[in-house]
Structure 1
């Protein structure tokens, strides 16, 4: 028999796993490494503003966060370290047992194919199946989910 329980708190998940784990039969317990709205919300709340902006822009762009919105008003702000902050927050969340280790990165940099030697980021891509999850999380964190500003943040 297979039982699937969705959208429960991480604490309840651990309690259920511990309860099932007390059984000495062939019961297997696994915790998925997929983004839920609750997990995405925890991630957003743990990010510095510039890293959270990457996710918000990807959500508002239906999976695409163009670099020009992220590079500041004059277009020169560096994007270095922003996605690294997301990676570090994912690691912190695993250590805090908010999710299992091995959670996938929700964003991936896309580089300018015409300038492969410089690896200049032209934007960040979020998988289409993650957009609704992160959109709901942004709405939980920001309220109505609207962009906090029409100007790029540096």
Structure 2
């Protein structure tokens, strides 16, 4: 949780006091783009064992095509949706889980990782992390559907 203080109004009858926290100081405010939060959340979710890929099938196919373009960057925020205010955020992630991994354990690990990363790196309070399991990756499916996951991201 982020600590807040208030800055007193300059004189009575004027603007209400400004709430101060890590992003809103007496010397100015810091704003964070939604895309920054989405990238941090995507990286944190990918670190969890049992997460095979992020997003639904269409998103993974699109990402695999764009990653083949020379000089393109890996899309780490695919499968992540963010709603953000000045001090708080809510995050939705869509994942493909490895067969045999516990949905409950993977989901809780994703929540812990995302909350820890986003709160410590941005100062935003994470209100909720919703995890949507879109598919299960079965052994031997790596190349069958044309999508990209951890085992097919390697250069050949």
Alignment TM class, shorter chain as reference: 0.3 to 0.5
Q: Which has the larger radius of gyration?
A: 2
Higher relative contact order (CA 8 A, sep 6+): 1
Determine which structure has the larger strand proportion and give its number.
2
Determine which structure has the larger helix proportion and give its number.
1
